[in-house]
Amino acid sequence: MSYSGSCHCGAITFEVDGEITQAMECNCSMCRRRGSLLAFLPREKLVLRTPESAVSTYMFNNHIIQHHFCAICGIAPYSEAERKDGPMAAVNVRCLPDVDLETLTITKFDGKHS
């Protein structure tokens, strides 16, 4: 299945290829504040439809995850990281309007203490 996503203002648009049936809710200092529900997939399954120059990036803690956000509206639609099994994307499913959040299996992750 293919999903189209964006930040709130539309300056960042992207497509995700894959079935999204579950998401992770993390309580780290970043995710708790922004309210993300994250679906993880190989990076090649996410196709950015806007120039990379439209994307701002924030890194914190151990500087492994690139948290991407829109400098105009502030929404953070996805993150990227290099993993031992290859590049990974963490898509904020709240930025995918065609995903029914009520049908997702939500797994809680204790990022605050990790």
Q: Looking at residue 62, what is its pLDDT?
A: 80
Residue 66: what pLDDT? 95
Kindly report whether the global pTM for this prediction surpasses the value 0.75: yes
Adjacent-strand bridge partners of 59: none
pLDDT at residue 61 is higher than 90: no
Residue 74 banded pLDDT, cuts 50, 70, 90: very high
What mean pLDDT do residues 1-11 have?
A: 97
Domain carrying residue 65? 2-109
Amino acid at 21: T
Tokens 């196709």 -> residue: 47
79 close to 95: Cβ distance less than 8 angstroms: no
Query: Does any domain span residue 114?
Result: no
CA distance 18 to 67: 21
User: How many domains does the chain divide into?
Assistant: 1
Q: Residue 44: what pLDDT? A: 97
Average pLDDT over the chain, rounded to an integer: 94
CATH for 61: 2.170.150.70
For residue 97, being part of any structural domain is answered with: yes
The span from the CA of 58 to the CA of 67, in Å, is: 5
Enter the tokens of residue 58.
Answer: 């924030």
Give pLDDT, residue 108. 96
